[in-house]
Amino acid sequence: MSFDDRRLMHPEEARFCTEHSFASGEPLAGWGAHQARNILIRWPKARWRHSLRIADGMQGEIAAAIERVFEAGWRVNLIDRKSETGAQIRVYLMPEALAFDLAPEALVPFLAAVPRGREALAAFAPSQAEAPLVLCCTHGKHDRCCAKWGFAVYKALAAEARRRGGFDVWECTHLGGCRLSAGVLTMPGMRKYGRLAPRDGPALLAAEAEGRPYLPCYRGAAHLTPPEQVAEVTALKRLAPMARGPIEVDWIGEEGAARIYRVRAANHVVQVRCTPGEVRAYGACDDLKAAEPLDPKTIWHGEILTAGTSEHS
């Protein structure tokens, strides 16, 4: 059975957490959360282990420096691609979109300088990361779904980026939501995607090049709460392809357990009711293999209430 074909199966037949999530009817929208402050460190993929930020070959002082900056509020992911073979370590700081090429011995003092801000980082010769980053989770040592589906999607995205230009595509450690593989995060736009297949690559990059999300696989904007993400995705699916530019999601009120939002995109305004529900799906392949008890996950269902232009709203 090819997951790329999105064929439904019974959940009990699933061999991977991604298959189980899909068969259980778990939606993508609402699972786009991601930390705002990020450090991305190029480290050879062959040395990655289960941790998303600590890998083999990191001497104790490097691992300690990474843990300190993590405790100070930065998410740290490892990135790699086979074309990167030099001794220098490429590092990105987001949302500032700064790039650094560091000598190995400079990594620890760099990490110590991050919480002190731009003045402290000037000594490390930052440059502006002009091309948006496309991070594809291929972290098979964290979850086998990310190897099974993630690497094929990474190759498709990398090939499309070489063809069209304008994007910097990397393999990445755990981005969250292994059960929604293949997972992708774009930076600095901070749009999260799931259940991507290789054939989605060209359309995803075409949408991102226009500053809009690729809706068939969109999980939501990272800065929004789960129901806000569902309101966003519901409204954009109604408006596409009319909506361009920034999206604003504002809470209006409640109707019992439901929440009402106003979504603005360009001169269009949509009101969406988001109603809570639940689904039971394994969070990771290890849980499925161990047949761990399934706890319910809260999901949200979006419903259009009104749609119009800002002049008439």
Residue 18: exposed, middle, or buried by beta-carbon count in 10 A (0-12, 13-18, 19+)? buried
Mean pLDDT value of segment 175-204: 96
Q: What is the DSSP string of 67-103?
A: HHHHHTT-EEEEEE-TT--SSSEEEEEETTTEEEEE-
Instruction: Tell me the pLDDT of the chain averaged across its residues.
Output: 92
Mean pLDDT value of segment 283-305: 88
pLDDT at 33: 96
pLDDT at 241: 67
pLDDT at 2: 43
Q: What is the pLDDT of residues 29-63, one digit of tens each?
A: 999 999 999 999 999 999 999 999 999 999 889 99
pLDDT at 230: 98
pLDDT at 240: 77
Q: What is the pLDDT of residues 205-214, one digit of tens each?
A: 999 999 889 9
Rounded Cα gap, residues 11 and 287, in angstroms: 14
Is 50 exceeded by the pLDDT of residue 1? no
3-state secondary structure of 60: helix
Name the residue among 270, 200, 193 with its Cα closest to residue 232.
270
Mean pLDDT value of segment 71-83: 95
- Which pair of tokens denotes residue 264? 């603005």
- Which pair of tokens denotes residue 280? 């039971």
| The model's pTM | 0.93
Q: How far is CA 281 from the centre of its chain?
A: 19
Instruction: Break the chain into its structural domains and give their ranges.
Output: 31-223, 224-313
Name the residue among 167, 246, 237, 250 with its Cα closest to residue 202.
167
Categorize the per-residue pLDDT at 239 as very low, low, confident or very high, splitting at 50, 70 and 90.
Answer: confident
pLDDT at 73: 97
Contact 158, 169 (CB under 8 A): yes
- The percentage of the chain sitting over the pLDDT mark of 70, rounded to a whole number, equals 94
Rounded Cα gap, residues 39 and 29, in angstroms: 25
pLDDT at 132: 97
Select 31-223's CATH number: 3.40.30.10, 3.40.50.11540, 3.30.1370.60, 1.10.760.10: 3.40.30.10
Is 70 exceeded by the pLDDT of residue 312? no
For tokens 């069209």, the residue is: 164
Mean pLDDT value of segment 238-262: 87
Q: What is the pLDDT of residues 99-138, one digit of tens each?
A: 999 999 999 999 999 999 999 999 999 999 989 999 999 9
Q: Quick one: CA torsion of 123, 40, 201, 28, rounded to 10 degrees?
A: -140
Cα distances (Å, whole numbers) of residue 239 to 32, 190, 234: 20, 21, 9
Categorize the per-residue pLDDT at 313 as very low, low, confident or very high, splitting at 50, 70 and 90.
Answer: very low
Q: What are phi and psi for residue 266, nearest 5 degrees?
A: 55, -125
Categorize the per-residue pLDDT at 243 as very low, low, confident or very high, splitting at 50, 70 and 90.
Answer: low
Categorize the per-residue pLDDT at 305 as very low, low, confident or very high, splitting at 50, 70 and 90.
Answer: very high
Rounded Cα gap, residues 93 and 73, in angstroms: 13
Rounded Cα gap, residues 40 and 163, in angstroms: 25
pLDDT at 289: 81
